[in-house]
Structure 1
């Protein structure tokens, strides 16, 4: 009875386990419902805590051979990892999904995988590869339309996503007109895809703002503001506020700019959205400049520079990590192959020696021992020689690589201090070298003149002739001004159409002569591009450093620069094509800096006075 009971109980347990396993397998409808729920959750934010649930869903889909759901989970996990900077694993997951789509000949799934890869390539700044993937997506959408493999809703959604990321790529490449042309929805049915439509509209508004067309961007932003997607997705909400603040800035609504950008910037401090944080800091800096609060503008400009440096460092690290992982994988495979070959050779050698030793052990024991010792000594000497040779070669390579890195760092520093359009030093260079340039000017007998030069009506030149002609005017303007300067003078592109001229060891009389000379040179010069002549003038404001105030106070160079900017404002407000300088007495002033600002008219000298 006992012998029959044991097999019977084993059979019953086996049947029970099979039945339990069969009941635990989920149906395709349940898996699709779970996938839809995860998709809806990810529309709000990409959360790492969703990875275990995604992997469980993928295992359940693999158990019932639901390969489309498997591919969708691979794409979702790849997007989550991409958001957190794991580009290598994200690329592997996207390629796995693409491989499943190719095996199933699912054109819609292939297009989704290609779109995910294109977005990843954009994050890695490999724009050529991103464009190739987008071209492949376009071909797949055409095939879907011809073969009618997908429902109209899926085809329209893929077409909308393709236009969204194609326009986004154009914006990243600086082709803003192409982006505006690509991001249109007139011929698309956009029902059922509000998140894609809102993203497309935001990118279109971004491109319009880059072109300075805030009047066209504002209605688009108003349309997006009515969507509930902004409430759910934090990044889209921050991006919307950034674009809205840019629109307010271009419209001249600077208080509204501060009111929109400041809360959005505070929201980024607890997030990983470093790029939006840097852009918001730049917008705030520009708004404070327009409001005349240069201290706050300078503060946010420095924060913007730090954020951009951190962002660039993060991008460089991501690229280096990807290259290092690929190199490490290739090296590991090569080493494994070499080890396998070496092990096979060593095994054959050992077997051969064992046979020789066994056959001749008694007769040639002493000779074999001496031979082995000689071989061991030679091998040791050879190893020592190879080791020294390798170490010397490695040291030489390290020295060469160190020299190359030093040279690259030097070039990067030079690039960061130079304006790519005019070849002049930029604002960053001046801030870093200001103390050195002004070291000799702390002696009262040695003055340094700060001179701010602004091209008159430069915006009209851009609007009338285009930004390309405007860039040519900036280059020729820099050449004309530089030709009128002395050897010790330093010309810096301060921003936009504004330049800063630093004239060390210069008194006010000489400064007026230099300013008058370069003012006349610009007015007489005929700017041209492609045989298209045009003329322009400039307005100039200048002041001298050091500046002695009441109670033996010494004004900072930032305050002197602010006085020069006030003189520039007076020159522009007085009709432009003029210069205004601040000519102070040699003895210290019996007033504070604020009092001097209020009584500047007493000490100013203008080009009209000089002419009279």
Structure 2
């Protein structure tokens, strides 16, 4: 049954002061009483009873299921009787769908205005709804209604959380898994804004991203931190798509998968990988680069010096009589000495210099930008400072022997052999001194002995 839309006068629709004469209106008219925001149908004129197939005694609970233009349940603040809260709504036509039990879906257009009635209070008031059009719904809702329970059952039984969000960001449908995951009842989520489910720090950015994605974004997939009802946070993967309802309005269908446990496992694996990488390149005791990484760093330094035309010096250090410390005081004291010695030497060098634990009590210095003579001066300075440094709680005094060399055109292996021979000469000369590789260097011990004869 169809009634054409008519222009309604201000007296009869927008601001009536009494329900008297309701039956004189040639359009459907309903009067609702709002008790603390809950609508109760208290009167309807004959036109409304006929067009809307309404019977029964008044007052009565709302006999219809109200759906908005997108055919989503118009519950809570979306009920048409609550449109009168806004002062401008009475001048607008609003589209709704209504359905009674076992009745076809009807499309209606209506206006809403407040009524002044005896006994109204701050929590109780009356509302007049004037319906200008009533028409059968074009989308054959009888078939949709017939299958809606099955569709709802499938939707609710999906193992992952699913929700539908309108263009304004409000949750229009949520399934059982979605509610269980967030710890809310369905009634707490329907028509709530999705920002309710996010930590405060990320709400503004999420709202902007949501608004910008309509209506062109499709099949977005990303990880997101969400906030549950108890205040805890979880990490989820969201996979969503933009679709349109029967009215052409965009809506977002969101599928949610909790990956918090997987993310925790990934973080632990990342931490283990970082630890393995650290152990592969660092000495676990002193924190210095180990011998394996030291070789790579030496190659890099020599290559860079060659490319830039800079000198590169190296020095091999060996702590004197370190075995005696381990034998007398134990390995725990020996480990402390190695750690404190490493920390002391690093603090005495430039930031561009590198100290490497070569093995045991041996250490390699890489000193870019200086020649062997400057390197010898640097190592002698460190040795002199060490003599006045007490190590460990036992306040042990140590010294070291060192061999110093300079890169010219030899390989890194050849350079290490030269400084190793120089270190041997320093130890042979009585320890606690620095020997320098002569230039040009000879690989024979005889030439090196001549170079170190002054020691």
Which one has the largest radius of gyration? 2
Query: Normalised by the size of structure 1, how large is the TM-score?
Result: 0.33
* Greater fraction strand: 2
Greater relative contact order (CA < 8 Å, ≥ 6 in sequence): 2
